[in-house]
Amino acid sequence: MNEEHSDYAWFTFKEALQQITVPGNDCVLSFIEKHFVKVKPYTQLEVRWWLDE
């Protein structure tokens, strides 16, 4: 954060959608939730750190 920002908060996706004031940000949040949060990652992209132990 810098001098332009004085506060922050953590929201669920549903809560964040209710806070949006910039047009188009609802589409961005919905896309992120759909493609990065609710989707199981490809097994090829998994980081298996426990195998190195």
Rounded to two decimals, what is the model's pTM?
0.61
Q: CA–CA separation, 33 vs 43, rounded Å?
A: 19
Q: Is the pLDDT of residue 40 over 90?
A: no
pLDDT digits (tens, 9 = 90+) for 2-24: 788 788 889 999 999 999 889 99
Angle at 11 between CA 43 and CA 14, to 5 degrees: 80
Angle at 25 between CA 23 and CA 31, to 5 degrees: 135
Q: What would the mean pLDDT of 30-48 be, rounded to a whole number?
A: 86
pLDDT of residue 53: 57
pLDDT of residue 6: 81
